């Protein structure tokens, strides 16, 4: 690695450390697939520019934690810490939706969804033995 490459890498690390103010754990339990949308609150004036970028992305449409990390080019843990800060001020919210809201009037997942999951599992584990009592 060149001296310039090493310096750029160290600079990115220092920037991430500064953005999170040295914190290594978010206050909220967030999965990679946690979906977020912009809320009614406002972040404090001392927030990092990354917080503004997160809010701008979430105003466009709902975004997952991992998508935000990828778009910002920051480590997922750092993004989780910033998202936690924004959740505390209600600038971001985790929308509550019914898990099967887009499947129509049924009380569970659609037959198409179950068929797609089954096909995916069979591709992943073609030698798996079927459970004889499965419906």
Residue 131 reports pLDDT greater than 80:
no
What is the per-residue pLDDT across 42-92, written as a single tens digit (0 to 9) for each?
Answer: 877 667 788 899 999 999 999 999 999 999 988 898 899 999 999 999 999
Q: How far apart are CA 2 and CA 51, in angstroms?
A: 31
Higher-confidence residue of 31 and 12: namely 31
What is the per-residue pLDDT across 86-101, written as a single tens digit (0 to 9) for each?
Answer: 999 999 999 886 555 5
Residue 3 reports pLDDT greater than 60:
no
CA 1 to the chain's CA centroid: 31
CA 61 to the chain's CA centroid: 13
pLDDT score, position 87: 93
pLDDT score, position 120: 82
- pTM comes to 0.62
- Alpha helices, DSSP H, located in 20-134: 49-60, 65-72, 76-88, 111-124
Mean per-residue pLDDT, 100-111? 60
What is the per-residue pLDDT across 23-34, written as a single tens digit (0 to 9) for each?
Answer: 778 888 999 889
């Amino acid at each position: 690695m060149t001296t310039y490459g090493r310096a750029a890498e160290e600079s990115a690390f220092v920037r991430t450390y500064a953005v999170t103010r040295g914190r290594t754990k978010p206050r909220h339990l967030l999965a990679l697939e946690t979906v977020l949308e912009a809320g009614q609150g406002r972040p404090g004036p001392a927030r990092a520019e990354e917080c503004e970028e997160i809010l701008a992305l979430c105003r466009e449409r709902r975004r997952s934690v991992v998508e935000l990390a990828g778009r910002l080019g920051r480590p997922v843990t750092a993004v989780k810490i910033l998202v936690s800060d924004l959740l505390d001020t209600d600038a971001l919210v985790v929308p509550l939706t019914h898990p099967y809201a887009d499947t129509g009037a049924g009380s569970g997942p659609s037959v198409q969804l179950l068929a797609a999951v089954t096909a995916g599992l069979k591709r992943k584990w073609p030698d798996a033995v079927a459970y004889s009592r499965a419906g």
